[in-house]
Amino acid sequence: MEATDKIKIQDFITNNNIDLSGEGSDLNGNCVILCGYLLHIGVDIEEFLAEDGFDGFDGDVDHELRRVYEFANDNNYGDWWTTKDAKLTYKF
C-alpha cells in the first residue's frame, strides 16, 4: 500500500467516525463503509490488514472485514463512491 493511501484511509476513518470496536450490525455497517471506500481507492483488504496501524484488529473484526470486502467487491460497492450522494454523505 502506498503511503498516500494509508493517509487517505486514516483521514477517512477519522473524519467519518468509523468505529470498528462495535459488534453486530454496528460493526457490519462500519465495515461496509470502509470496504467500499477501500475498493474505491483500489486498496486490497489483505494490503490494508497487513499495514502497520491497521494490523491490530481482533479476530472478529478481521474476519468481518474480509467477509464484507469480498461481498462488496463482488457487488461493485466501490462504484458508489463516485456518486454525488457519496460526496455529500462522507468526507473523502
SS3 63: helix
Q: How confident is the model at residue 23 (pLDDT cuts 50, 70, 90)?
A: confident
Domain boundaries, the chain: 3-14+23-89
Q: Alpha-carbon Rg of the chain, whole angstroms?
A: 12
Least confident of 22-26, 27-31, 33-37: 22-26
SS3 69: helix
H or E stretch covering 38: helix 24-41
pLDDT at 59: 78
The per-residue pLDDT for range 39-89, each reduced to its tens digit, is 999 999 999 999 988 877 877 899 999 999 999 999 999 999 999 999 999
